[in-house]
Amino acid sequence: MIKPLITGDGKVEASALYRESLIQYGIEWFKESPFFGYGLENFRVLNSIDYGNNVYAHNNFIEILVGLGLVGFLIYYFLYAYILIKLLPLVKKKSHNGIIIFTLLLISLFMDYASVSYDSKLTWIYFAVGFIVIKRYEDKHFKTESIDNVDYEVNNEMRKVRILERE
């Protein structure tokens, strides 16, 4: 775990300690129902029952692990992994759209430690834009490769015809 924030005078910030305790509670609830969790939004319910506080996890990783278990966690974060990996060629080619959405998704991923984003419209917009950018790149790349392949095959056939004509 990341150590709670320490203020300039050596004291640990109260909200950091509270968030750390929410993470610990979430880990325990995840251990009780690791595969499918308790259902979305149920971190709040469990926290209310066990500790009398009707609050969410303040951590997307914990919120999803408790709510959807390992299955839901892997499905949700697979979206990030898939899009980020598919955007890498665009980032390497210095595509502005690729770099922007790649950066936004990385920032969102890092912020998931201190906020809950699975229910944010902005997160899903990032995913949608990421898929669109990837699709446009793949369509353009595929057309170029297809044309090159057709040209190569046509040239090959033309060579064969010329060879046969000479014989």
Task: Note the pLDDT tens digit of each residue in 79-127.
Answer: 999 999 999 999 999 999 999 999 999 999 999 999 999 999 999 999 9
Is there a contact between 43 and 72 (Cβ–Cβ < 8 Å)? no
- Model confidence band, residue 154 (pLDDT cutoffs 50, 70, 90): very low
Q: Show me where the domains of the chain are located.
A: 14-166
pLDDT in the model for residue 45: 96
Task: Note the pLDDT tens digit of each residue in 65-91.
Answer: 999 999 999 999 999 999 999 999 999
The per-residue DSSP string of 108-147 comes to HHHHTTTS--TT-HHHHHHHHHHHHHHHHHHHHHHHHHHH
Is there a contact between 63 and 23 (Cβ–Cβ < 8 Å)? no
- Mean pLDDT over 16-20 rounds to 90
**In this structure, what token pair is assigned to residue 138?**
């793949």
- Model confidence band, residue 150 (pLDDT cutoffs 50, 70, 90): very low
| Ramachandran bin of 5, using left for φ above 0, alpha for ψ from -120 to 50, beta for the remaining angles | beta
Whole-angstrom distance, CA of residue 112 vs CA of residue 34: 20
* Percent of the chain predicted with pLDDT > 90: 70
Is there a contact between 98 and 106 (Cβ–Cβ < 8 Å)? no
Higher pLDDT, 52 or 144: 52
Closest alpha carbon to 75 in 118, 134, 41: 118
Look up the pTM and report it: 0.78
